[in-house]
């Protein structure tokens, strides 16, 4: 997306030569804006990164990241499979005519009804997360008189070394539990599934899966040799998602405090000039394909990747309008018309890039806090941002909001916004209508 911006003579930001300030006026705000070319390019980049190193690769778009029909359709048109994790995801895949053999079924919650639907659609593989699930799939497949291909999701959770526990971001893990250990089978449990496979007469155990990809693909090695020794052929190695484009800088509270102190003693904040650690997809692909090749298998398994954020994250931004600016407690608060109701993943710790779209190349800057229109304390989109002097009616673009924003947004206090997609032909396609108040309550009954 970043390659497709320009500044108009009016000092407005444009995407594919579409003036975003004018767009915010004609379409109203808040407004999600997607770059169609960027979606296609991100998908092609991840596909090529793997395909250039390894012969059998499936890229399966993770629908929950952004389930908008137009976006999912672009994925389908560009040969991506669909990773579904709920009945809603499956419905969307069907609505787009994605054939069952291009659907991969993941997730910790798979009630019978949903398994049956998936089996009726002849979906390619179900990645199972527990013994109960294997028994359920086996029983339903048996009732239907079919055999179903399944993979085992592996849980490679390891205790964190003590020093990691001092990081405030890991507090939940330190105090409460090991949240990621709820997913999938432990290595030992997976081995016992292999040994007990006769019990699952209607299942073909053909895959191993792990998510996110960096959580130790190495784990597969011992499982594959165990499977081989028992005559089980693993055809699919699924490494999930987790390929972050790296544009969003994730900080912790200590970083924020140090940055503030630096500014108090007269240094300029450098925080907004940094971005997150950019992922080189080529390096990730080399690591994964290298590990698979090291397994030295006679017939090469297919590598499956399930990207979501990598494809849509950087392809979407949110336009919000400044309702008013208020000075209180010695701070300047910029109140905008969309907040954590539509950007739930945004926080003061995820420093999204913000640009005032109608004040490009501006001379006067100031530090402000940007807050949403909601009534809860943490409805803060950004703290201490160095931006052009802001006034009522200005429009801000919050970058890298393509993933987990439209799907996770709520109707708390406000109907949900519209979305448009722009391409290099300067076409502006409406991909979601703005909701109104009647839409929000239309299922209520007095």
Ligand X SMILES: Cc1ncc(COP(=O)(O)O)c(C=O)c1O
Q: Which residues bind ligand X (CB under 6 A)?
A: 62, 65, 83, 106, 211-212, 240-243, 306-310, 403
Specify the residue, 64 or 235, whose C-beta has the smaller distance to ligand X: 64
Query: What single-letter DSSP state applies at residue 433?
Result: P
Peptide bond into 212 cis (omega under 30): yes
What's the min distance (Å) between Cβ of 188 and ligand X?
Answer: 22
CB-CB contact of 45 with 290 (8 Å): no
Q: Which two tokens stand for residue 194?
A: 């292999």
Q: Which two tokens stand for residue 280?
A: 């080189």
Q: Which two tokens stand for residue 17?
A: 């030569």
Specify the residue, 210 or 271, whose C-beta has the smaller distance to ligand X: 210
What's the min distance (Å) between Cβ of 209 and ligand X?
Answer: 8
What is the rounded CA–CA span in Å between residue 174 and residue 377? Answer: 25
Specify the residue, 241 or 246, whose C-beta has the smaller distance to ligand X: 241
- End-to-end, the C-alpha distance of the chain in Å comes to 46
Specify the residue, 248 or 336, whose C-beta has the smaller distance to ligand X: 248
Q: Closest Cα partner for 357 from 23, 38, 28? A: 23
Q: Count CA within 13 A, CB hemisphere, residue 249.
A: 16
What's the min distance (Å) between Cβ of 81 and ligand X?
Answer: 12
What's the min distance (Å) between Cβ of 181 and ligand X?
Answer: 15
C-alpha 343 chain-centroid distance: 13
What is the rounded CA–CA span in Å between residue 156 and residue 163? Answer: 20
What's the min distance (Å) between Cβ of 445 and ligand X?
Answer: 34
| Sheet strands (E) in 380-446 | 380-388, 395-398, 418-422, 428-432
What's the min distance (Å) between Cβ of 254 and ligand X?
Answer: 25
C-alpha 401 chain-centroid distance: 10
What's the min distance (Å) between Cβ of 311 and ligand X?
Answer: 8
SS3 60: strand
**Tokens 């080399």 label which residue?**
286
Specify the residue, 308 or 417, whose C-beta has the smaller distance to ligand X: 308
Specify the residue, 212 or 373, whose C-beta has the smaller distance to ligand X: 212
Specify the residue, 150 or 390, whose C-beta has the smaller distance to ligand X: 150
Specify the residue, 210 or 360, whose C-beta has the smaller distance to ligand X: 210
Specify the residue, 308 or 372, whose C-beta has the smaller distance to ligand X: 308
Q: Which two tokens stand for residue 217?
A: 């693909």
SS3 per-residue string spanning 363-379? CCEEEEEEECCCCCCCC
What is the rounded CA–CA span in Å between residue 151 and residue 91? Answer: 22
What is the rounded CA–CA span in Å between residue 4 and residue 219? Answer: 41
Specify the residue, 245 or 369, whose C-beta has the smaller distance to ligand X: 245
| Residues 6 or more apart whose Cβ sits within 8 Å of residue 436 | 415
Q: Looking at beta carbons, which residue is closest to ligand X?
A: 241
What's the min distance (Å) between Cβ of 355 and ligand X?
Answer: 24
What is the rounded CA–CA span in Å between residue 106 and residue 213? Answer: 15
CB-CB contact of 51 with 45 (8 Å): no
SS3 246: coil
Specify the residue, 5 or 310, whose C-beta has the smaller distance to ligand X: 310
Q: Angle 69-77/87-95 helices, nearest 10 degrees?
A: 60
């Amino acid at each position: 997306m970043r390659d497709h911006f320009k500044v108009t003579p009016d000092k407005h930001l444009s995407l594919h030569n579409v003036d975003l300030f004018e767009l915010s006026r004609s379409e109203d705000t808040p407004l999600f804006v997607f770059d169609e070319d960027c979606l296609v390019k991100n998908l092609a980049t991840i596909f090529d990164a793997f395909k250039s190193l390894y012969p059998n690769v499936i890229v399966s778009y993770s629908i929950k990241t952004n389930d908008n029909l137009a976006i999912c359709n672009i994925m389908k048109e560009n040969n991506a499979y669909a990773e579904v994790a709920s009945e809603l995801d499956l419905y969307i895949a069907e609505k787009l005519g994605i054939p069952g053999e291009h659907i991969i079924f993941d997730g910790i919650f798979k009630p019978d009804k949903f398994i049956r639907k998936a089996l009726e659609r002849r979906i390619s593989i179900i990645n199972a997360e527990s013994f109960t699930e294997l028994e359920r799939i086996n029983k339903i497949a048996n009732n239907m008189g079919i055999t179903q291909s399944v993979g085992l999701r592996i849980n490679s959770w390891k205790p964190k070394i003590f020093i990691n526990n001092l990081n405030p971001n890991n507090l939940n893990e330190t105090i409460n539990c090991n949240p990621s250990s709820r997913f999938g089978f432990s290595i030992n449990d997976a081995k016992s599934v292999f040994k007990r496979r006769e019990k699952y007469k209607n299942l073909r155990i053909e895959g191993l899966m792990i998510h996110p990809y960096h959580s130790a693909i190495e784990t597969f090695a011992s499982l594959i040799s165990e499977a081989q020794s028992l005559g089980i052929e693993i055809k699919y190695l699924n490494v999930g998602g987790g390929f972050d484009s790296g544009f969003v800088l994730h900080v912790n509270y200590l970083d924020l405090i140090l940055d503030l102190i630096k500014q108090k003693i007269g240094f300029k904040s450098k925080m907004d000039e940094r971005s997150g650690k950019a992922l080189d997809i080529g390096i990730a692909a080399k690591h994964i394909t290298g590990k698979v090749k090291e397994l030295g298998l006679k017939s090469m398994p297919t590598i499956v990747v399930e990207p979501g954020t990598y494809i849509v994250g950087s392809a979407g931004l949110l336009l919000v309008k400044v309702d008013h600016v208020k000075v209180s407690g010695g701070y300047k608060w910029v109140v905008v018309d969309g907040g954590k109701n539509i950007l739930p993943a945004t926080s003061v710790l995820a420093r999204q890039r913000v640009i005032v779209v109608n004040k490009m190349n501006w001379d006067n800057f100031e530090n402000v806090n940007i807050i949403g229109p909601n009534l809860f304390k943490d409805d803060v989109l950004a703290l201490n941002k160095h931006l052009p002097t802001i006034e009522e009616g200005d429009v801000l673009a919050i970058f890298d909001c393509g993933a987990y924003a439209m799907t996770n947004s709520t109707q708390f206090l406000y109907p949900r916004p519209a979305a448009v997609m722009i391409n290099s032909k300067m076409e502006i396609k409406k991909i979601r209508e703005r909701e109104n108040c009647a839409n929000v309550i239309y299922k209520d009954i007095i």
